[in-house]
Amino acid sequence: MEREIEEFIDYMHSAKKASTNTELSYRRDLNKLAQFIKQQGVEDVSKITVTQINSYILYLEKNHFAAATISRNIASIKAFFHFLFKNDRIEEDISENLKAPRIEKKIPEIMSQEQVEKLLAGPDGTSPKEIRDKAMLELLYATGIRVSELIKLQVKDVNLSMDFIVCSENMKERVVPFGKEAKTALLRYLNSAREQMVEDPNEKILFVNYSGKPMSRQGFWKLIKFYSKKAGIEADITPHTLRHSFAAHLVENGADLKCVQEMLGHSDISTTQIYAAMSHNHLREVYTKAHPRG
């Protein structure tokens, strides 16, 4: 089954232009399935039965995996067996009738604008590190990009004359604007701090660590934890919290939902619509508190 999984991943990469994270997710889910099926004494994909697939889903449920995790596993299994069936590797698609569990959409945690201001004010020193930290935080909140996109940005992806960045992944590009505060922080970093941090003058990555190498996800996670603690924010702030806050604050202040979708890079606007619901809830709270008959 391992060979078929690799063929499927290759197909997703070349034909479907799947993101790196999607490919890792598929591989992880399908390898777990393969291990389970192997324990049942089956190694040939054409011998796998509907009962065995359902047993695996039941195994996930009994081991208290989250509904979202089970749903993602089912999506991976369905995509895999559809690929096998389409390429005549199996006689029937045994995953066709698998049903994903119902998932309650959780309202994402967002920061108040006051909390954001306190967080962004954290890096207030003149050391190259603090100047870099200020630029990273300002840019993340100004654009709502993912932390994986932030740490992959190259210097060439930043257009300081037109005030936008270009995010690229798997031959897909999107342009996201940023405002004056982020621009000021970026200019300061590029003009006075970055050259002191890079080890190789030809380094293309925009944000580097102490060693002059590209910043890691873990490195930025620690950075945001440090500054949220410094700001006295008790809530559990993550890089994705800033992304959610960026979107929620835009919608709350009247931004067009379609534009927010494009900036976030959501393929389906239904994913973005949750921020509109949050805005409506906020309006309801304001009305209830302020209206004489609320």
CATH of the domain at 48: 1.10.150.130
| 79 & 123 share domain | no
CB 167 within 8 A of CB 176: yes
What SS3 state is found at 1? coil
Q: How far is the C-alpha of 79 from the C-alpha of 71, rounded, in Å? A: 12
Report the number of distinct structural domains present in the chain.
Answer: 2
With CA atoms as reference, report the closest residue to 190 among 227, 156, 151, 221.
156
Q: How far is the C-alpha of 213 from the C-alpha of 194, rounded, in Å? A: 11
With CA atoms as reference, report the closest residue to 246 among 257, 259, 260.
260
**The model's pTM:** 0.64
Sheet holding 164-169, edge to edge: 158-159, 164-169, 172-177
Q: Structural domain of residue 169, as residue ranges?
A: 113-288
| 119 & 260 share domain | yes
CB 197 within 8 A of CB 214: no
Report whether pLDDT(291) > 70.
no
pLDDT bin (cut points 50, 70, 90) of residue 294 is very low
| 132 & 10 share domain | no
Reported as a single tens digit per residue, the pLDDT across 161-171 is 999 999 987 66
Reported as a single tens digit per residue, the pLDDT across 227-267 is 999 999 988 898 889 999 998 888 888 888 788 888 888 87
Reported as a single tens digit per residue, the pLDDT across 137-156 is 999 999 999 999 999 999 99
Any long-range contacts for 154-159 (C-beta under 8 Å, 24+ apart)? 154/204, 154/205, 154/206, 155/190, 155/204, 155/205, 155/206, 156/204, 157/206, 158/186, 158/206
Query: Is residue 169 one of the residues assigned to a domain?
Result: yes
